[in-house]
Amino acid sequence: MTDALPWPTDILLAPDRRSLTVTYDDGRVIALSAEYLRVESPSAEVQGHSADQKQLVPGKSGVGIRHIDPIGNYAIRLTFDDGHDTGIYSWRYLLELHLSEPQLWQAYLAKISAAGLKR
């Protein structure tokens, strides 16, 4: 990623509340599922305070986004319909989630499977 971070120009919640689309000023449009956003929440509750403390978050395949609240000019807070609302998603974090989605999602699916849990 370059030093110049693209700036979001539009953030749209899908009518079914299960995905978020972000349009950036460089023309890039990314779509992230609510489930992916929830299981990769940047909150300490999910991420812990170090990489080895990250929590596995099962059972979120049907989760939706209830609210999107701006946090200054650098982030949004998502409130999910399961009550989770402590993650602050910076513009950089949203873009990093998009760029890392194939790896992060496959790792999540592998961990869920190994633990005998369901999405």
Please tell me the distance from the alpha carbon of residue 28 to that of residue 31, in angstroms, as a whole number.
Answer: 10
The whole domain housing 15 covers 8-113
Residue 95, CA distances (Å) to 4, 78, 113, 117 in order: 12, 15, 27, 28
pLDDT of residue 113: 97
Q: Give the residue ranges of the chain where pLDDT is below 50.
A: 1
Q: Which amino acid is at 27?
A: G
Please tell me the distance from the alpha carbon of residue 40 to that of residue 101, in angstroms, as a whole number.
Answer: 10
The pTM for the full model equals 0.92
* CA triple 12-38-22, angle to 5 deg: 25
Asked if the structure places residue 119 within a domain, the reply is: no
pLDDT tens, 91-114? 999 999 999 999 999 999 999 999
* Helix, strand and coil percent figures for the chain, each rounded to 5: 30, 30, 40
Handedness of CA 52, 53, 56, 57 (dihedral sign): negative
Per DSSP, the three-state class of 53 is helix
Asked if the structure places residue 1 within a domain, the reply is: no
Considering its fold, how many domains does the chain have in total?
A: 1
Asked if the structure places residue 3 within a domain, the reply is: no
CATH at 92: 3.30.2020.30
